[in-house]
């Protein structure tokens, strides 16, 4: 069992995008894409994720977990090679569409495979511990890859993508040393941003029933308004991720320094994740989620005045996202019943993804006109003001009560 888990850690490490992420946007700029086109292709990725979310989950059940993961790794290799070859907006849009297929094939399925493997050996209680260590291995590999990404880019802009293709390919032989699972002990495991319930009370529901549950739950003020509140900041964080590289270049960050910064981002994310429980205990759900309003407003407003403060703001953005996301998910979990919980969480994830994709597409044109630094700063400040008004007007975060089901 110990050997199997270690091999799983190696496989998860092969899922890293550390070579690709630090140079992805500046690479597209070097291939002639402007910010509007970059926003469009990044939006294509998010929209495609929504489209492929259910089909790839179904495919994982039909093919088996291991075969689905293998297919995801093969597609990833093709995607990374495609990045090196693409030289037009259409070409990158196709690559990002395929990248969404690879992403949805691997993410939830990897967790489902692990849960089923542990369950067959009576080790379900080890799921969180093993997953946490696997995520740590992934982050360490991503940080190391990020450090070398910009150096590879300065030698040849395509090298980081071929390196990431090689890393994904290394996961295939490891994957085929792992056993198949039957897919009967974990009927659904959520995507990385919105983990679904995998407890013994979970049970699948039909499409009509799922639609009804989703409609009913999202119509409740205690859920509807927190989703609206989360969507505002998800919009800010998403456009920041897309346009942060051009913004960093505009304040003087060299290409060679991007890899070191992204390695630092990974470490900050890891530390923030480890502090989530302590921060939540200290501030409570309302305190943690309200923290987004003043912190984002000040951080994003500051680099409009002092451009060099952009880099600290990007580190802060990672920490905020890591801390607030699980708190938000727990809040929603507390307000829905076991039956339909996965449906609600998946529905919320899709809503946030669609809003982020739309923001990326529309934001590219604005960023091109006013500059990426001004665009990000204005977006952060305006969204924070809107979220503050929403907080005062509708109280999006509400205390659980006996009447919570109707609130």
Residue whose C-alpha is closest to residue 375's, from 46, 92, 35: 35
pLDDT at 213: 65
Angle, in degrees to the nearest 10, between helices 127-155 and 159-175: 150
Domains of the chain: 1-190 (1.20.1250.20), 200-407 (1.20.1250.20)
Higher pLDDT, 4 or 394: 394
Burial class (CB within 10 angstroms; exposed 0-12, middle 13-18, buried 19+) of 359? buried
Say if residue 211's pLDDT is above 70.
no
Of the candidates 174, 35, 155, 20, the residue with the CA atom closest to the CA atom of residue 84 = 20
Query: How would residue 63 be classed by pLDDT, with cut points 50, 70 and 90?
Result: confident
- Quick check: 122 pLDDT over 60? yes
Residue with the bigger pLDDT between 25 and 191: it is 25
CA-closest candidate to residue 113, choices 60, 74, 174, 71 = 60
Flag the least confident range among 184-193, 229-238, 297-306. 184-193
pLDDT computed for residue 189 by the predictor: 38
- Residue range 357-371: mean pLDDT, rounded: 95
User: pLDDT-derived band of residue 52, with 50, 70 and 90 as boundaries?
Assistant: confident
Judge contact between 345 and 218, C-beta under 8 A.
Answer: no
Give the model's pLDDT for residue 207.
Answer: 56
Confidence check: pLDDT of 108 > 70:
no
Q: Fill in the DSSP letter of residue 21.
A: G
Q: How far is CA 377 from CA 15, 23, 310, 370, 381, in A?
A: 32, 22, 9, 11, 6
Please determine, for residue 398, whether its predicted confidence score (pLDDT) is greater than 90: no
Q: What is the band of 231 on the pLDDT scale with cuts at 50, 70, 90? A: very high
Q: Which H or E element spans position 22? A: none
Compute the C-alpha angle 191/80/8, nearest 5°.
50
Q: Give the pLDDT of residue 14.
A: 92
Q: Is residue 318 predicted with pLDDT exceeding 90?
A: yes
Q: State phi, psi for 191 to the nearest 5 degrees.
A: -75, 170
Alpha helices, H only, 87-187: 89-120, 127-155, 159-175
Round the average pLDDT of the chain to a whole number and report it.
Answer: 84
Three state DSSP letters for 304-368: HHCHHHHHHHHHHHHHHHHHHHHHHHHHHHCCCCCCCHHHHHHHHHHHHHHHHHHHHHHHHHHHH
Reading the block at residue 187, the tokens are 């009927």
The average pLDDT across 209-232 equals 80
| pLDDT recorded at residue 400 | 58
Give pLDDT tens digits for 320-352: 998 998 888 888 877 776 555 666 777 788 888
Confidence at residue 201, expressed as pLDDT on a 0 to 100 scale? 41
């Amino acid at each position: 069992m110990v050997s199997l888990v270690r091999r799983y850690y190696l496989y998860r490490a092969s899922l890293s995008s550390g070579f690709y992420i630090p140079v992805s946007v500046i690479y597209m700029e070097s291939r002639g894409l402007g910010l509007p086109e970059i926003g469009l292709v990044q939006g294509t990725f998010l929209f495609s994720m929504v489209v492929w979310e259910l089909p790839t989950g179904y495919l994982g059940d039909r093919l088996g977990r291991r075969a689905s993961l293998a297919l995801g790794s093969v597609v990833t290799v093709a995607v990374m090679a495609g990045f090196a070859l693409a030289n037009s907006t259409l070409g990158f849009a196709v690559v990002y569409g395929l990248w969404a297929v690879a992403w949805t094939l691997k993410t939830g399925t990897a967790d489902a495979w692990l849960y089923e493997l542990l369950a067959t050996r009576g080790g379900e209680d080890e799921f969180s511990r093993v997953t946490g260590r696997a995520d740590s291995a992934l982050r360490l590999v991503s940080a190391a890859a990020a450090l070398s990404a910009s150096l590879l880019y300065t030698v040849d802009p395509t090298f980081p993508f071929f390196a990431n293709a090689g890393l994904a390919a290394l996961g295939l032989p490891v994957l085929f040393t792992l056993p198949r699972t039957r897919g009967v002990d974990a009927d659904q495991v959520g995507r990385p941003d919105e983990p679904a319930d995998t407890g013994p009370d979970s049970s699948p529901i039909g499409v009509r029933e799922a639609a009804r549950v989703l409609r009913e739950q999202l119509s409740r003020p205690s859920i509807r308004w927190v989703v609206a509140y989360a969507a505002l900041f998800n919009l800010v964080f998403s456009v920041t991720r897309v346009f942060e590289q051009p913004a960093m270049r505009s304040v003087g960050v060299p290409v060679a320094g991007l890899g070191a910064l992204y390695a630092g981002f990974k470490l900050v994310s890891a530390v923030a994740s480890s502090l989530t429980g302590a921060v939540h205990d200290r501030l409570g759900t309302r305190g943690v989620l309200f923290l987004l309003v003043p912190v984002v407003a000040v951080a994003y407003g500051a680099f409009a005045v002092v451009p060099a403060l952009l880099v600290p703001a990007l580190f802060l953005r990672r920490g905020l996202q890591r801390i607030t996301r699980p708190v938000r998910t727990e809040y929603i979990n507390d307000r829905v019943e076991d039956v339909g919980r996965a449906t609600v969480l998946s529905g919320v994830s899709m809503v946030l993804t669609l809003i982020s994709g739309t923001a990326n597409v529309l934001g590219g044109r604005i960023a091109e006109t006013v500059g990426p630094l001004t665009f990000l700063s204005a977006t952060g400040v305006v969204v924070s003001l809107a979220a503050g008004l929403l907080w005062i007007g509708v109280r999006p975060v509400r205390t659980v009560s006996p009447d919570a089901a109707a609130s």
